[in-house]
Amino acid sequence: SGSGSGSGSVSVSVVPIVLAGFSQGACLALEVAARFPGLVAGVFAPCGARIGQSTEWAAPAGQPLTGVPVLLGAAEADRFIARADLEATAAWFRAAGANVDVVDTQGDRHEITLAQRLRGRSVLTGEPAREGATGFGNVLTSQAIEGAVPALQNTPRLHPNGLYAEQLNATGFTTPRADTHRTWLYRVRPSAQRRELLGFVQPRISATFDGAPEINLCGFAPLELPTDERDFVDGLTTVCGAGSARLRRGYAFHLYAANRSMERRALYNADGELLILPELGALTVMTELGALEVAPGQLAIIPRGIVFSVLLHGPAARGYVGEAFGRRFQLPDRGPIGSNGLADARHFRAPAAWFEDRLAPGFEVVGKLGGALHVATQDHSPFDVAGWHGNLVPFVYDLGAFSPSGNVRFDHGDPSIHTVLSAPLDEQGTHTLDLVTFPPRWDATTGTFRPPFFHRNVTAEINGIIRETAQPGSPFRPGASFVTPSLTAYGVSARAVEHSRTLNDAEADRPVQLGVDSLWFQLESALSPVLTPWGAAHRLPEWSATWGSHPSYFTR
């Protein structure tokens, strides 16, 4: 501000400010922004709307809020704010030129959600959200505030920000350096502040695979979306697995279906590494090291021991989870393919450090060890890591970035040429769990039966469908899964064989692009899967009949 020369006039310079409020405070912030747009640099207003009836609001004069970020949102059944009022508020601010972000959540709780706090940070600071570093297997560093990660030491006596140094290691101390995986975290409060872990029952999660392996082909319909309240932990269902989590050898295959975000609960898995493949609904996987945005067609890798919460972007979410009890997932060797192709390490993105110093009495942390679940409470948010460095890091990867290889002259390649990740066993050429994907690709083989060949494979296969245009009544639809046991014969349908045989040579040899409108995956293992009680009870009847009866074409 300043005074004029002799005239008594006063000129005032206005510095735009960010308005923030919750509930009634959010309503006031929005009303001030609407009436005095020149004062506003941003609005953070969860669980709020403009005051009065929308029919009483004057239309904005031009677009006085051009480019101003405005965050709105509430629970879908929040009884303190009408959905129509929130939608009308969003429409008014968009008409005024604002960049409106509506971050809703499920349920009826009147609160500021973790997703709103994540997105709102940019509104409040005026700084865009930072992207995490890339590079699968690299030693990475990320810090949310300058100096959070010490430049030289891992455990300085006095951290300049008063942070606690905490190491998380997923391998033994004397593991060879190339196989060592650990991360140092610098956090507001230590994880040791949790209370005692007590037993926690979720009846659909299994870790005992002591029965006889399944020998027949079997299929499973997509999980029904829940009608009761279920978050990611509540919504997990184990279909099959092998080995033992207690012995750290083997795997489990789960499905999930959820309709609630993990707002007051987090999970860590001491049994192994998790591979999350959404089929319906995008997720924010909030980890101690930062947030990962994971949509259908992408995957998230959550290492052993990392604490995380799963937040839903929509009213419901569904997908698949592979769990490797033994060695970690790694990129497969390319062999004769050379130095390029398949999954590239640079396409795997780690989270950027993000933290909150927030008290949260009664916050639950669920731990899984030896297949059993336990739960402890703590009085603060577990997402208080201001900086970290190491190679025990979660990643997100877009399966659309996979560069497939294939036969380009004749014959059908093995599915292993589409391997994205591999969790190996100790024996050469075997694996606990391999992830194989079937992305868009060209088939230019000639004189070849192009559908997948009939096969008896020593490796067991678990198949899932993320994207597919299914015919009415087809069991092969998104969310479905099916298991092919070791050395059990299988192949394509009789109809596919007949179609291939009736093509003329020109049609049969024409190059075609496959997988354009679909996305399937396989989890392959040298260990034979054992169905859980849930899996045995929910297998589709007469699955082997799905493939039809194959006539003889034999002639002499």
Are the beta carbons of 222 and 479 closer than 8 angstroms?
Answer: yes
CA atoms within 13 A on the CB side of 191: 21
For residue 108, give the 3-state DSSP assignment: coil
Q: How far from 213 is each of 120, 410, 437, 529, CA to CA, in Å? A: 50, 36, 25, 5
Q: How far apart (Å, rounded) are the C-alpha atoms in residues 234 and 148?
A: 35
The CA angle 268-165-246, to the nearest 5 degrees, is 30
Torsion of the alpha carbons at 267, 272, 275 and 280, rounded to the nearest 10: -40
pLDDT of residue 421: 97
Are the beta carbons of 196 and 374 closer than 8 angstroms?
Answer: no
pLDDT of residue 113: 96
Are the beta carbons of 126 and 94 closer than 8 angstroms?
Answer: no
Cross-strand pairs, 138: none
Q: How far from 57 is each of 37, 50, 341, CA to CA, in Å? A: 14, 9, 57
Structure tokens at 556: 């002499």
Are the beta carbons of 475 and 220 closer than 8 angstroms?
Answer: no
Q: How far apart (Å, rounded) are the C-alpha atoms in residues 1 and 18?
A: 20
Structure tokens at 157: 């006596």
pLDDT of residue 3: 41
Query: CB neighbours of 49 closer than 8 A, spacing ≥ 6?
Result: 26, 27, 30, 72, 81, 82, 85, 86, 88, 89
The CA angle 3-6-9, to the nearest 5 degrees, is 45
Element (H, E) at 471: none
- Where the chain has pLDDT below 50, the residues are 1-6
Dihedral of CA 301/304/308/309: which sign?
A: positive
pLDDT of residue 397: 98
12-125 fold? Rossmann fold (3.40.50)
pLDDT of residue 208: 82
| Domain at 404-547: CATH architecture | Sandwich (2.60)
Q: How far apart (Å, rounded) are the C-alpha atoms in residues 316 and 132?
A: 27
Name which of 404, 398, 402, 397 is nearest 441 in CA terms.
Answer: 404
Query: CB neighbours of 223 closer than 8 A, spacing ≥ 6?
Result: 235, 237, 255, 256, 257, 318, 479
Residue listed under structure tokens 């009415």: 472
Name which of 543, 313, 276 is nearest 435 in CA terms.
Answer: 276
Are the beta carbons of 285 and 308 closer than 8 angstroms?
Answer: yes
Dihedral of CA 205/206/207/213: which sign?
A: negative
In this chain, the answer to whether the domains covering 12-125 and 404-547 adopt an identical fold is no
Kind of pairing, strands 99-102 and 182-187? Answer: unpaired
Q: How far apart (Å, rounded) are the C-alpha atoms in residues 290 and 124?
A: 18
DSSP string, 152-169: S-SS-SS-TT-PEEEEEE
Query: Which sequence spans correspond to the domains of the chain?
Result: 12-125, 404-547
Q: At 310, phi and psi to the nearest 5?
A: -110, 120
pLDDT of residue 2: 41
